[in-house]
């Protein structure tokens, strides 16, 4: 038997990108899901659509030199991968973390294409970042790094071309420094970044959007099966932007969060994690999660972040990083009675872990659907910047909720239509792909 079109495209991707395991992992999952679509649409193969969609439109890698507080010159590597602009300007975050490399930025950029499509808003896919480690750096060092990073990046981005935002290690402070430098270099005040501060063009709800959106999505998914957050025990990994606002929303929806983590370890708080205290320690004071245990009686701290999946829960929300939840962790969750998983991070579950969830009928919300609330609200920030108006918190929050419900509907309908009822992994991949594919078909071979 000759190899299928989809399999032969994946073979080519493997050959051309042999040292990019995260990128290959993301591509393999999407291509596998698309087999029934390709079968129904032979015109996609004729147009070389898959060969084109797996190749970034443009990849930029650059030197980022800066001077640390001791006067020593430091050099980091900067990246921006402009993956696909079929449905709108490139859009996606910047990650500053020592593990950043081209494979990671390409996997994130590739996922972003389909996620952004699912939002229903006009945004293409892109991602960027640096192997810079913000941990332990002074504000001055962060500022000088951001200014140097933007001194190269500014020539490649723009409000109608490519609009970066935050991701791991890039929050409000970094976006501020990046925006200031962009404006200075271009002499132009435009919505070139999202996640901006509220005094200079930011949108209400953007800070909370990914975590809130994750909970809105999971709520839709579990309510469709007669379940709810009320009274549920929840474990959230990470304690950064996504995790914190998932925590706040879970509590508002009547659930109890009993464990959270950072890259060093995890806390167990049987009484339910206190949002105000956790936010102060992690977001305001930028300290370690260990200090939450020191600050509140009855809380245990355990070294090593992977152990968090041994904590018994009804709902698990992995919100830290890629491949943080493996086969063993998935089995542990299932054995402990976990019945729903919502991915707040990008690709947090390994392919083997996803298999285990699906096989055991755990309600599974895949990242590119479940965490799309952040980028959706970024697109709402872009709209407000274009109109030179700002909407109230309630207005943006209502739009976010509606967008997340819409994504759930699109993913579950696509899954059903292609014979994979209740499989939101396949449904999200197909629904996200179809809009991009139609736009690419209309625009010719580009």
Candidates 147, 239, 349, 384; binder of ligand NDP (CB under 6 A) is: 239
205-224: contacts with ligand NDP (CB under 6 A): 210
User: Which residue of this chain has its Cβ atom nearest to ligand NDP in the complex?
Assistant: 240
- Decide if residue 240 touches ligand NDP (CB under 6 A): yes
- Decide if residue 119 touches ligand NDP (CB under 6 A): no
Q: Which does 91 bind (CB under 5 to 8 A by kind): ligand 2IT, ligand NDP, none?
A: ligand 2IT
Closest distance of CB 115 from ligand 2IT, Å: 6
Closest distance of CB 190 from ligand 2IT, Å: 16
**Pair 80, 156: CB distance under 8 Å:** yes
Q: Tell me the per-residue interface mask from 272 to 311 with ligand NDP, x by CB under 6 A, - otherwise.
A: ---------------------------------x------
Nearer to ligand NDP by Cβ, of 126 and 374: the residue is 374
Instruction: Count the Cβ atoms, other than its own, within 10 Å of residue 191.
Output: 22
Residue the block writes with tokens 């970024």: 378
Q: How far is CA 396 from CA 194, 380, 381, in A?
A: 14, 8, 9
Residue the block writes with tokens 């939002």: 119
**Pair 302, 265: CB distance under 8 Å:** yes
Residue the block writes with tokens 């010159």: 73
Rounded to 10°, the helix 393-417/102-118 angle is: 90
**Pair 149, 179: CB distance under 8 Å:** no
| 91, 106, 115, 127: the active-site residue | 127
Name residues whose C-beta falls within 8 Å of residue 192's C-beta, 6 or more positions apart in sequence: 157, 158, 159, 163, 164, 179, 182, 186
Instruction: Count the Cβ atoms, other than its own, within 10 Å of residue 184.
Output: 13
Q: Tell me the per-residue interface mask from 329 to 358 with ligand 2IT, x by CB under 6 A, - otherwise.
A: -----------------x------------
Window of 59-67, 302-310, 370-378, 425-433 that interacts with ligand 2IT by CB under 6 A: 370-378
H-type alpha helices, 262-303: 275-279, 290-295
Candidates 92, 171, 238, 348; binder of ligand 2IT (CB under 6 A) is: 92
Candidates 82, 203, 378, 423; binder of ligand 2IT (CB under 6 A) is: 378
241-270: contacts with ligand NDP (CB under 6 A): 241-243, 262-264
401 is catalytic: no
Give, in degrees to the nearest 5, the angle at Cα 244 between 232 and 126: 115
For the sheet with 340-342, list strands across it: 300-303, 265-268, 256-261, 233-236, 315-317, 340-342, 363-365
Window of 67-75, 87-95, 323-331, 336-344 that interacts with ligand 2IT by CB under 6 A: 87-95
Nearest to 129 by CA among 158, 85, 92: 92
Closest distance of CB 250 from ligand NDP, Å: 15
- Decide if residue 168 touches ligand NDP (CB under 6 A): yes
Candidates 27, 204, 365, 375; binder of ligand 2IT (CB under 6 A) is: 375
Element spanning 61, H or E: strand 58-67
Q: Which does 128 bind (CB under 5 to 8 A by kind): ligand 2IT, ligand NDP, none?
A: none
177-196: contacts with ligand 2IT (CB under 6 A): 194
Instruction: Give dist(CA 83, CA 236) in Å, integer.
Output: 30
- Binding residues (CB under 6 A) for ligand NDP: these are 97, 99, 166-169, 171, 210, 238-243, 262-264, 305, 319-321, 324, 344-346, 371, 374
- Binding residues (CB under 6 A) for ligand 2IT: these are 91-93, 115, 165, 167, 194, 346, 374-375, 378
Which amino acids are annotated catalytic? 127
């Amino acid at each position: 038997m000759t190899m299928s079109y989809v399999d032969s495209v994946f073979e080519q991707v493997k050959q051309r990108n042999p040292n990019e395991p995260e990128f290959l992992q993301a591509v393999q999952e999407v291509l596998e899901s698309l087999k029934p679509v390709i079968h129904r649409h032979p015109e996609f193969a004729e147009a070389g659509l898959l060969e084109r969609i797996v190749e970034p439109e443009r990849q930029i890698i650059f030197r980022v030199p800066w001077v640390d507080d001791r006067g020593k010159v430091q050099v980091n590597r900067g990246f921006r991968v402009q993956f696909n602009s079929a449905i709108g300007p490139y859009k996606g975050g910047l990650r500053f973390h020592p593990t950043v490399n081209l494979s990671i930025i390409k996997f994130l950029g590739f996922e972003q294409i389909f996620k952004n499509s699912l939002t229903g808003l006009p945004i293409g896919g892109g991602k960027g970042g640096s192997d810079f480690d913000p941990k332990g750096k002074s504000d001055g060092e962060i500022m000088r790094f951001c200014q140097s990073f933007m001194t190269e990046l500014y020539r490649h981005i723009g409000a109608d071309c490519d609009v970066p935002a935050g991701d791991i290690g890039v929050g409000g402070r970094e976006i501020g420094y990046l925006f200031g430098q962009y404006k200075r270099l271009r002499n132009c005040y435009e919505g070139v970044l999202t996640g901006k501060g509220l005094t200079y063009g930011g949108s209400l709800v953007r800070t909370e959007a990914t975590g809130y959106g994750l909970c809105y999505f999971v709520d839709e998914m579990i309510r469709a099966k007669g379940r709810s957050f009320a009274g549920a025990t929840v474990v959230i990994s990470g304690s950064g932007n996504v995790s914190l606002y998932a925590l706040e929303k879970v509590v508002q929806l009547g659930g109890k969060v009993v464990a959270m983590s950072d890259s060093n370890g995890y806390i167990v708080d049987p009484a339910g994690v206190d949002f105000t205290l956790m936010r102060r320690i992690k977001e305001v004071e930028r300290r370690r999660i260990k200090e939450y245990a020191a600050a509140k009686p009855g809380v245990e701290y355990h070294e090593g972040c992977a152990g968090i999946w041994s904590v018994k829960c009804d709902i698990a929300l992995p919100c830290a990083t890629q491949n943080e939840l493996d086969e063993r962790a998935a089995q542990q969750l299932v054995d402990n009675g976990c019945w729903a998983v919502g991915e707040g991070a990008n690709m947090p579950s390994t392919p083997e872990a996803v298999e285990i969830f699906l096989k055991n009928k755990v309600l599974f919300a895949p990242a590119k659907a479940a965490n799309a609330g952040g980028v959706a609200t970024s697109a709402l920030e872009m709209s407000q910047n274009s109109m030179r108006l700002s909407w109230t918190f309630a207005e943006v929050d209502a739009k976010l909720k509606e967008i997340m419900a819409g994504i759930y509907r699109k993913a579950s309908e696509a899954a059903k239509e292609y014979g994979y009822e209740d499989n939101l992994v396949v449904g999200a991949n197909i629904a996200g792909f179809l809009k991009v594919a139609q736009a690419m078909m209309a625009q010719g071979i580009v």
